[in-house]
Amino acid sequence: MHLASGITWAAAVVGLAFGRPTAAAAYYDAETGFTFSEYKAACSLSATITYRVAIPNDAYYGQSFDAVLQVVAPNSVGWAGLAWGGGMVSNPLTVGWANGNTATVTSRWANSRSTPSLYTGNSLQKLSTGNRANGTHFQFTVLCSGCTQWTGSSGFQTNLNPQGSNKFAFACSGSRPSQPASNTSSFPYHDAHSYWSHDFSAGANADFANLVMRNGGRPSVL
């Protein structure tokens, strides 16, 4: 554990020393205490969605590790989704929207470019912090167990890299889900989608499991 953290820290220092460009900036969220890697995606000319990912600093490639996803969007966004493998098809999709003074988050999977199905291959836990909707924005914060490793329909396993960049995609709509209180609601087709490379190393957290528990979550590794 101490050795692994040391290696992560050394790798981060080397990255900085060589001025490696990162596609995601580090963001410290005082409310939850997590440090996230952050990327801002344009849903429309006037609406920017912020996607943040926090992971354990001792995660290694090839292992399924927990991740906290935090998404902040202006209220003109009807739903905001993240594709963990960088495309619509054959990867976990995490989608959320405003519901009253909080947010609803749902797990989906698409085998084709049509309405995704409900997905039970991972687990999403809304944390007790970082979930709200107000006059201007909605925000959700979920612990995902099973978003960093999955097996597609061909049987091919994908692993995300905790120390480097992962191909991500997002999609969003200006229109709203039909039943906002329900995580099984249908929601309309997207108006926009795009891709980026998300550097997980900027969101590595020491003592990740304790941070999760402090925010009301149950980490899969203690």
In the complex, the residues that contact ligand HEM under the rule CB under 6 A are 81-83, 87-89, 93, 95, 108, 113-116, 169, 171, 187, 189-190, 193
Q: How far is 186 from 141, CA to CA, in rounded Å? A: 21
The interface partner of residue 114, options being ligand HEM, ligand NAG, none and the CB cut-off 5 to 8 Å by kind, is ligand HEM
- Compute, in degrees rounded to 10, the torsion defined by CA atoms 26, 65, 149, 71: -40
Q: Which of 115, 128, 134, 151 binds ligand NAG (CB under 6 A)?
A: 134
Interaction between residue 184 and ligand NAG (CB under 6 A): yes
The least CB distance from residue 85 to ligand NAG, in Å, is: 18
Phi, psi of 143 (to 5 degrees): -90, 125
| Percent helix / strand / coil, the chain, rounded to 5 | 10, 40, 45
Phi, psi of 192 (to 5 degrees): -150, 150
Q: Which is nearer to ligand HEM, 119 or 208 (CB)?
A: 119
Q: Is 142 within 8 Å of 122 (Cβ atoms)?
A: no
Q: How far is 19 from 143, CA to CA, in rounded Å? A: 31
Fill in the per-residue mask, 39 to 68: x = in contact with ligand NAG (CB under 6 A), - = not in contact. ------------------------------
Q: Which stretch binds ligand NAG (CB under 6 A): 116-124, 153-161, 167-175, 193-201?
A: 116-124
Interaction between residue 132 and ligand NAG (CB under 6 A): yes
Q: How far is 62 from 154, CA to CA, in rounded Å? A: 18
Binding positions for ligand NAG, 79-108, rule CB under 6 A? 106-107
Give the Cβ contact number of residue 103 at 10 Å. 25
Q: Which is nearer to ligand NAG, 106 or 149 (CB)?
A: 106
State which amino acid sits at residue 180: P
Q: Which of 7, 27, 137, 174 binds ligand NAG (CB under 6 A)?
A: 137
